[in-house]
Structure 1
Amino acid sequence: MLINAMIAFGSIVLAATAASAQDPQSGVSFRDDFTNIDPAFWYVSDGWNNGNHQNCTWSRNEVRIEGDSLALTFTKGKSKDRDYLCGEIQTTRRYGYGTYEARLKAASGSGLNSAFFTYIGPPTQQIHDEIDFEILGKNTDAVQLNQFVKAKGGNEYLVDIGDPADQNFNTYALVWEPERLRYFLNGRLVHDVTDASKVPASPQKIFFSLWGTDTLSDWMGKFSYSRPVTFDIDWVAFTAAGDKCQFPQSLVCTLQ
């Protein structure tokens, strides 16, 4: 269920926040508990892939509601020139400065990547900006953080989770401000980026994806498949800069 803390989704009135000042088309605060997939809010990737490094084809059949969460799956299945199928979902709107939060349980398996990230780039005639949480199936005890600013990356930072991320749900959050970016794990600050040159500025879409590779083994591990696996998303929320806390579990309640 989508809970918009400001106004009903689709209204032409936008809150006077930093996010809307940054881009008049930026989305407003929301929380989604994934009781369904709203096609006006979420776009499901289907029938293509991101390039030669990806060994699976995005398929809407790998994106579904299971129980009380969104499930993205990776499974064996032929599509075009790929032998595997995988799931990805992205918001239809872009979001700017504010707090991004999601409660996730990652997939396991060497060569797989469970990702919660924001992105804008060439597909929408924009320069590449991106902010990442990536849990690699080869080592689910850690999460990799990264940013791309005007297509320049190289800001990887590895954080120990403590418990395997494929066995338990954890809450991943980031607070994105002009010239500062803070990453949080289960409410704890784990990385603080204060170098303005390493902080994106362009509003971006919110993505969740589960994908695999045969070629990026140095980074993601040698690909190995034995059975279908699932990346579970319990909920996701965005609170625009300046907005009040939307729900008790939100990081915003603690920081305000």
Structure 2
Amino acid sequence: MGPKEAGRENMNQEVRNVKKKWWIALCSSLLLLTSLAITAKGATVFWEPMTYYNSQTWEMANGYSNGNMFNCTWRANNATFTNDGKLRLALTSPSYNKFDCAEYRSKFTAGYGLYEVNMKPAKNVGIVSSFFTYTGPTDGTPWDEIDIEFLGKDTTKVQFNYFTNGVGGNEKVIDLGFDASQSYHTYAFDWQPDSITWYVDGVAKHRATKNIPKTPGKIMMNIWNGTGVDSWLGSYNGANPLYAYYDWVRYTSN
């Protein structure tokens, strides 16, 4: 290759590099736009694919434990993103009989409306994979919570639950007709002032109408192993690493 040809090739390579950087920047901008709230027919819609860590919208619990029935410590590095664009929450063991888990939550709070997640929970006795809204004393509010929980001991079922000012006892276990740990499905709840209706793949599965929570909360996802709650979760056997996967999250206000 002569000097002219080499120079021309170097110039072409520089152009390709510029185009590549421009394309990456454009894609990143489009991803950011997907997470912005938009208004349609009076409703606020928040939708975000779980392809990367958007620190403007989400945060990772790190360096502490909820205690009581939670037998692990939240670690930010246990929330990662897969090459095919999924949020992966991990339950791991850094040393014998010690466990790290993961929690991912919104920086904003949301109230009445439709909450949806496309996810695949972990399968193993003694653990929980979840999607829920929460607010409580650490936020200076009453404890209000609405749950979609997968008990790893039997992922052919899903548990729905809610707390109003700390009062729970509203568990409802639903047979799915499939193993949730084997493929992605969409789970949702529609929270209204007088009711909560839970859905699986767009089909209503359960409705609650008594003592409905009213305090806006954060949108949250986590995976953790239990202790002292064997009658509920089964006895955790120490198996790890275990993973729950989340494809996308959407919230549509009233």
TM-score class, shorter-chain normalisation, is 0.7 to 0.9
CA–CA separation in structure 1 for the residues paired with 2:64 and 2:95: 12
Structure 2 counterparts to residues 4-19 of structure 1, below 5 A: 4-6=36-38
**Cα distance change of structure 1 residues 3 and 41 upon mapping to structure 2, 3 Å threshold:** closer
Shift, 1:68, TM fit: 1.6
1:29 partner SS: strand
Structure 2 residue runs without a partner (length 5+) = 1-30
Q: How does 1:159-238 map to 2 (within 5 A)?
A: 159-195=174-210, 197=211, 199-238=212-251
SS at match of 1:93: strand
The answer to whether the Cα contact below 8 Å between 1:102 and 1:235 also exists between their aligned partners in 2 is yes
Decide which structure has greater helix share. Answer: 2
Residues 47-82 of structure 1, C-alpha deviations (whole Å, 9 max, x = no match)? 001113211110011001112210000011149xx7
The answer to whether the 8 Å contact 2:122/2:243 transfers is yes
In structure 1, the partner of 2:72 is 56
What secondary structure, in the 3-state scheme, does the structure 2 residue paired with 1:123 have? helix
Deviations along 1:128-176, one digit per CA (max 9) or x if unpaired, are 0000000001111100000101110000001111111111111101111
**TM-score where L is the length of structure 2:** 0.83
Per the alignment, residue 130 of structure 1 pairs with 145
Instruction: Pick the aligned partner of 1:115 from 125, 130, 138.
Output: 130
**How many residues are matched?**
220
Q: Please, which moves more after superposition, 112-121 or 82-91?
A: 82-91
Separation of aligned partners in 2, 1:52 and 1:133: 20
| Equivalent residue, structure 2, for 1:36 | 52
Segments ≥4 residues shifted beyond 2 Å = 1-5
Runs (5+) with no aligned partner, structure 1: 8-14, 18-27, 242-256
Aligned residues: CA RMSD: 1.7
Aligned counterparts of 2:170 and 2:205: Cα–Cα separation in 1 = 14
Per the TM alignment, residue 215 of structure 1 is displaced from its structure 2 partner at its CA by: 1.3
Asked if 1:99 corresponds to 2:131, the answer is: no
The whole-number CA distance in structure 2 between the counterparts of 1:231 and 1:161 is 18
Conservation of the 8 A alpha-carbon contact between 1:119 and 1:128 = yes
- 1:154 corresponds to: 169
Identity %: 34
- 1:3: which partner in 2? 35
How far apart in 2 are the matches of 1:226 and 1:89?
22
In 2: Cα distance, 1:213 partner to 1:155 partner: 20
Aligned to 2:86: 69
Question: How high is the TM-score relative to the length of structure 1?
Answer: 0.82
Aligned with 1:201: secondary structure? coil
Contact 1:109/1:225 (CA < 8 Å) preserved in 2?
A: no
Cα deviation for residue 225 of structure 1 reads 2.3
Distance 2:37 2:167 in 1: 34
